[in-house]
Amino acid sequence: MQDAINTYLRAVRQTHSAGDATEHSYRPAFKTLVESFGKGIRATNEPKRVACGAPDFIVARKDVPLGFIECKDVDVPLDEAEKT
């Protein structure tokens, strides 16, 4: 697990250092991180709308939804993001 987290953090640093990244730029690395959490975990970026709205990711195992994820850009303070 630690290797997956370190790989993710390296990817975020590299993407961020380019200076032109947006929220969507980090999603491939985030998808890889989430899917490393367990065998059969699938993270779908920009899934179809669901009852709760339009999440950025849906996380599932064997087609059973486990949760939804809303992403924000790395430079957005979390207290501000919570309001949206």
Coil, strand or helix: which one is 57?
A: strand
Q: What is the pLDDT of residues 35-80, one digit of tens each?
A: 999 999 999 998 887 777 889 999 999 989 999 999 988 888 888 8
* Whole-Å CA distances, 59 to 10, 17, 29, 41: 23, 28, 15, 7
Coil, strand or helix: which one is 40?
A: coil
**pTM of the predicted model as reported, rounded to 2 decimal places:** 0.85
Query: What's the rounded Cα separation, in Å, for the pair 63 and 41?
Result: 9
- What is the model's pLDDT at position 64? 95
